[in-house]
Amino acid sequence: MSTTRQLLNSGQVARFVARGFLRLDRVVPPEMNEEALGVFAAGLPAVPYGTPLSDAFPEGTFARRLVELPAVAGALESLVGPDPTVDHHFVHRREPREGSAQALHADALIDLRFDAFDVQLMYYPQEVTEDMGGTLLVPGSHLRRINESDTGRYQNLLGQIRLVCPAGTVLVLHHGIWHGGRRNDSDTVRHMYKIRLNPTVPQVRLWDTANLEGPAVREELSHWFPWYETATGRLEIHNRIRMWRALTDDPGFDVDYWATRIANRPGQRSHA
């Protein structure tokens, strides 16, 4: 297996900015997936908030090998940089036929940052079938700021995703995305391992920028999700533009002049 890190390209980062997540299918090899369940059953040691990722998980441990997989390491470096710190990590376990689901929510307190963000890695060591429930995601929700479970009363939104995936899949999420663990209606225990990472460097052009001017960037940033309202949904596009400007250090970037026209402040005309 290659050990060369695989940085994201500009189209993939633009997709993350628009959707709030990236999905990496089957990036964890089968032998690690088999090992994971035993590791989770034995329990994982606590990691103090703010511990550098390189110190949080000793060399050779399961978590260290997970974040060092080329596709995972490349995605993390592309989004939070080479030296992130660990916010927390936790194994989520859903019992068979437990009869309840987690409310739709965003993690932690309301967060108004647009020029910085945390990333959450979610790893699924087992195949997640439809009856196992999986993680519910609302694409494009991450820049609509809420406080924790403000959205808990919502049951279904057009375009939501109820994760079904093969074993070894990793999701990389913006910390603000609306999500929730669904009810497990199967006869199998479902596991998901989460690591939240905080950046320690400016999140500016950390990825492979060779295709920065390619058409995929504007295509991704213009994508419309079916749950968006006609008026308020436009603000989501504007928020993406603000985020992309920060990530690229390009204050003039725009999509169809959405941001340019409302920033226009012409000088006062002379009456001379």
- The pLDDT, as a whole number, for residue 265 is 86
Q: Is residue 220 part of a domain?
A: no
* pLDDT > 90? residue 3: no
**To the nearest 10°, the Cα dihedral for 234, 236, 242, 246?**
-150
For residue range 112-126, list pLDDT tens digits in order.
888 999 999 999 999
| Host domain of residue 129 | 10-198
Q: Give the DSSP H or E segment for 240.
A: helix 232-248
Average pLDDT over residues 184-201: 97
CATH of the domain at 55: 2.60.120.620
* pLDDT > 90? residue 109: no
Q: End-to-end CA distance of the chain, in Å?
A: 73
Q: Is residue 82 part of a domain?
A: yes
Q: Is residue 42 part of a domain?
A: yes
- The pLDDT, as a whole number, for residue 1 is 46
* pLDDT > 80? residue 271: no
Left if phi > 0, otherwise alpha if psi is -120 to 50, otherwise beta: which for 100? beta
- Give the count of domains, the chain: 1
For residue range 18-65, list pLDDT tens digits in order.
999 999 999 999 999 999 999 999 999 999 999 999 999 999 999 999
For residue range 224-243, list pLDDT tens digits in order.
999 999 998 999 999 999 99
> Within 13 Å and on the Cβ side, how many CA atoms surround 188?
13
The chain-wide mean pLDDT, for the chain, equals 94
Q: Is residue 224 part of a domain?
A: no
121 beta partners: 172, 195
Q: Is residue 65 part of a domain?
A: yes
Q: Is residue 45 part of a domain?
A: yes
Q: Is residue 17 part of a domain?
A: yes
* pLDDT > 70? residue 102: yes
- The pLDDT, as a whole number, for residue 5 is 75
Q: Is residue 34 part of a domain?
A: yes
Q: Which residues of 35-45 are buried (b: 16+ CB within 10 A; e: fewer)?
A: ebeebbeeeee
